[in-house]
Structure 1
Amino acid sequence: MRILQVTAEVFPLLKTGGLADVLGALPVALQQAGCDVRLLLPGYAPILDGLQDVQPLLHLPGRFGLAEVTLRQGRLPNGLLAIVIDAPAFYSGVTHPYLDTERRDHPLNPLRFALLGWVAAQLAAGSLPDWRPQIVHGHDWHAGLAMAYMADMARWLGYRPAGGVFSVHNLAYLGCYPATIFGDLGLPGAFYGMDGLEFYGAVSFMKAGLYYADRITTVSPSYAREIQSGEQGCGLHGLLQRRRGELTGILNGVDYTVWSPEDDVWLPARYGSANLAGKSQCKAALQADWGLQPDASAPLFVVASRLAEQKGLHLVLAGLPQLLERGGQLAVLGRGEAALERAFQAVSAEYPGRVATRIGYDEASAHRLFAAADVVLLPSVYEPCGLSQLYGLRYGALPLVRHVGGLADTVVDCTLEALDDDTATGFVFQSLDLSSYLAALRRAFSLYRRPADWLVVQQRAMQQRFDWQSAAERYLALYAEAIPPWAVAGRQ
Structure 2
Amino acid sequence: MRVLQVCAEIFPLLKTGGLADVAGALPPALAALGDEVRVLLPGFDAILDGLQEAVVVAELQPPPALHWGSGGARLLWGRLPAVGEGVTAYVIDAPGYYRRPGGPYADANRHPYGDNHLRFALLGWVAAELAQGLDPFWHPTVLHAHDWHAGLAPVYLRAAQQARHQHFAGSVFTVHNLAYQGGFAGHHFQELGLPSGFWGVNGVEFHGQLGFLKGGLYFADRLTTVSPTYAREIQGPEQGCGLDGLLRTRGVDLSGILNGVDDAVWHPATDTLLPANYAVDALDGKAACKAALQQELGLAVDPARPLLCIVSRLTEQKGLHLVLEALPGLRALGWQFAMLGSGDAWMETAFAEAAAAHPADIAVRIGYDERFAHRLIAGSDAIAVPSRFEPCGLTQLYGLKYGTLPLVRRVGGLADTVADTRLETLDRDATGFVFDEFSAGALLWAAERAVALFRRPADWRTVQQRAMRQDFGWTAAARHYQALYRQVSA
* Contact kept? 2:60, 2:74, Cα under 8 Å: yes
Q: Does 1:291 align with 2:298?
A: yes
Which of 412, 416, 419 aligns to 1:405? It is 412
For 2:485 and 2:370, the matched residues in 1 are separated by: 32
> Which of 394-403 and 426-435 deviates more?
426-435
Please list the CA deviations of residues 315-368 of structure 1 after superposition, one character each: whole Å capped at 9, or x if unmatched.
Answer: 111111111012111111011222221121111112112111111112210100
| Aligned-pair identity (%) | 56
* Contact kept? 2:181, 2:214, Cα under 8 Å: yes
For residue 105 of structure 2, what is the aligned residue in structure 1? Answer: 98
Q: How does 1:251-270 map to 2 (within 5 A)?
A: 251-270=258-277
Q: Does 1:13 align with 2:13?
A: yes
Q: Does 1:426 align with 2:438?
A: no
Give the letter for the 2:140 counterpart: P
* Contact kept? 2:68, 2:122, Cα under 8 Å: no
For residue 314 of structure 1, what is the aligned residue in structure 2? Answer: 321
* Contact kept? 2:314, 2:341, Cα under 8 Å: yes
Q: Secondary structure at the match of 1:83?
A: strand
For 2:102 and 2:384, the matched residues in 1 are separated by: 29
Give the letter for the 2:325 counterpart: A
Q: Secondary structure at the match of 2:300?
A: coil
For residue 81 of structure 1, what is the aligned residue in structure 2? Answer: 88
For 1:277 and 1:240, the matched residues in 2 are separated by: 48
Tell me, which stretches of 5 or more residues in structure 2 are unaligned? none
* Contact kept? 1:308, 1:337, Cα under 8 Å: yes
Which of 65, 72, 81 aligns to 1:68? It is 72
Give the letter for the 1:454 counterpart: W
Instruction: Report the Cα offset of residue 95 of structure 1.
Output: 5.4
Q: Secondary structure at the match of 2:314?
A: coil
Which of 464, 483, 486 aligns to 2:470? It is 464
For residue 228 of structure 1, what is the aligned residue in structure 2? Answer: 235
For 2:345 and 2:80, the matched residues in 1 are separated by: 33
For residue 48 of structure 1, what is the aligned residue in structure 2? Answer: 48
Q: Secondary structure at the match of 2:343?
A: coil
Q: Secondary structure at the match of 1:416?
A: coil
* Contact kept? 1:99, 1:105, Cα under 8 Å: yes
For 1:28 and 1:281, the matched residues in 2 are separated by: 33
* Contact kept? 1:271, 1:279, Cα under 8 Å: yes
Instruction: Report the Cα offset of residue 313 of structure 1.
Output: 0.9
* Contact kept? 1:167, 1:217, Cα under 8 Å: yes
Number of paired residues?
483
Which of 172, 181, 186 aligns to 2:193? It is 186
Q: Secondary structure at the match of 1:319?
A: helix
* Contact kept? 1:46, 1:95, Cα under 8 Å: no
For 2:98 and 2:350, the matched residues in 1 are separated by: 33
* Contact kept? 1:44, 1:95, Cα under 8 Å: no
Instruction: Report the Cα offset of residue 477 of structure 1.
Output: 0.5
Please list the CA deviations of residues 32-79 of structure 1 after superposition, one character each: whole Å capped at 9, or x if unmatched.
Answer: 111110000000000100122222221121442446320111211213
* Contact kept? 1:64, 1:115, Cα under 8 Å: no
Judging changes above 3 Å, is the alpha-carbon distance between structure 1 residues 384 and 107 closer, same or farther for their aligned structure 2 residues? Answer: same
For residue 162 of structure 1, what is the aligned residue in structure 2? Answer: 169
For 1:57 and 1:299, the matched residues in 2 are separated by: 55
For 1:197 and 1:6, the matched residues in 2 are separated by: 19
Judging changes above 3 Å, is the alpha-carbon distance between structure 1 residues 407 and 264 closer, same or farther for their aligned structure 2 residues? Answer: same
Q: Secondary structure at the match of 1:275?
A: coil
For 1:429 and 1:105, the matched residues in 2 are separated by: 35
For residue 216 of structure 2, what is the aligned residue in structure 1? Answer: 209
For 1:21 and 1:94, the matched residues in 2 are separated by: 23
Give the letter for the 2:41 counterpart: L
Q: Does 1:480 align with 2:486?
A: yes
Give the letter for the 1:432 counterpart: F
For residue 441 of structure 1, what is the aligned residue in structure 2? Answer: 447
Instruction: Report the Cα offset of residue 218 of structure 1.
Output: 0.4
For 1:217 and 1:65, the matched residues in 2 are separated by: 30
For 2:143 and 2:103, the matched residues in 1 are separated by: 24
TM-score (normalizing by structure 1): 0.96
* Contact kept? 1:302, 1:375, Cα under 8 Å: yes
Please list the CA deviations of residues 65-115 of structure 1 after superposition, one character each: whole Å capped at 9, or x if unmatched.
Answer: 446320111211213110000000011234522121101222231111100
Give the letter for the 1:2 counterpart: R
* Contact kept? 1:375, 1:399, Cα under 8 Å: yes
* Contact kept? 2:315, 2:321, Cα under 8 Å: no
For residue 453 of structure 1, what is the aligned residue in structure 2? Answer: 459
* Contact kept? 2:419, 2:429, Cα under 8 Å: yes
Q: Does 1:347 align with 2:325?
A: no
Please list the CA deviations of residues 132-175 of structure 1 after superposition, one character each: whole Å capped at 9, or x if unmatched.
Answer: 10000000000000011011101111023210100000000010
For residue 367 of structure 1, what is the aligned residue in structure 2? Answer: 374
Please list the CA deviations of residues 152-201 of structure 1 after superposition, one character each: whole Å capped at 9, or x if unmatched.
Answer: 10111102321010000000001011112111111112111111111111
* Contact kept? 2:319, 2:387, Cα under 8 Å: yes
For 2:38 and 2:184, the matched residues in 1 are separated by: 29
Q: How does 1:133-152 map to 2 (within 5 A)?
A: 133-152=140-159
Instruction: Report the Cα offset of residue 27 of structure 1.
Output: 0.8
Instruction: Report the Cα offset of residue 234 of structure 1.
Output: 0.2
* Contact kept? 1:348, 1:356, Cα under 8 Å: yes
For 2:255 and 2:247, the matched residues in 1 are separated by: 11
> Which of 189-198 and 2-11 deviates more?
189-198
Instruction: Report the Cα offset of residue 297 of structure 1.
Output: 1.1
Q: Does 1:4 align with 2:10?
A: no
* Contact kept? 1:301, 1:331, Cα under 8 Å: yes
For residue 275 of structure 1, what is the aligned residue in structure 2? Answer: 282
